Amino acid sequence: MVPLAGYLGLGLFMFTMGVVGVMIRRNPIVIFMCIELMLNSVNLTFVAFARYGSVTHHGSGIQSAMAGQMIVIFVMAVAAAEVAVGLGIIMAIFRLRKSIDIDDMSLLRG
């Protein structure tokens, strides 16, 4: 069997790349994509724990397996809503200011 650490390591790597991307990129769309990358790395971790499960869990294996999968579904729902609103905001900013550099968006009142 593939060890649990393989999945967790991949998840950690993706999460780190997401963090680095948010720090070094200035294009808000790419930053947004890096946030999606982080969300997905966490999803992968959840599914891996759901399958390998109950290391520190008190209930039965199937319960923790279900909990792991449910949270992934909710994260996907939240991500979908977030993308719909976030891209709408980016488009609105672009319409207003004709620029989408993240460092130009430091004012509270446009």
Partner 1 sequence: MPPTDELAKLTLFGALAGVAALSAVGVVAFGNAVRSALCLIANFFCLAFLYFTLNAELLGITQVIVYTGAIMVLFLFVIMLLNFGSPQFLKEPPDYLRKGIGILFGVVLFGLISSQVLMPLAKVKATTAPDDYGAPQQIGLSLFTTYVWPFEVASILLLIGIVGSIMLAKRKI
Per CB under 8 A, which of residues 81..110 are in contact with partner 1? 81-85, 87-92, 94, 98-101
Residue 80 CB, nearest distance to partner 1 (Å)?
Answer: 6
Q: Are 14 and 41 in contact (CB under 8 A)?
A: yes
| Cα distance between residue 93 and residue 49, in whole Å | 40
- Give me 93's structure tokens: 């900013």
| Cα distance between residue 2 and residue 25, in whole Å | 34
Q: Which is nearer to partner 1, 35 or 109 (CB)?
A: 35
Residue 14 CB, nearest distance to partner 1 (Å)?
Answer: 5
Residue 110 CB, nearest distance to partner 1 (Å)?
Answer: 14
> Binding of partner 1 at residue 59 (CB under 8 A)?
no
Q: Return the residues of window 15-44 that contact partner 1 according to CB under 8 A.
A: 16-21, 23-27, 29-30, 32-34, 36-37, 40, 43-44
Q: Are 34 and 22 in contact (CB under 8 A)?
A: yes
Residue 108 CB, nearest distance to partner 1 (Å)?
Answer: 18
List phi, psi (to 5°) of 48: -65, -45
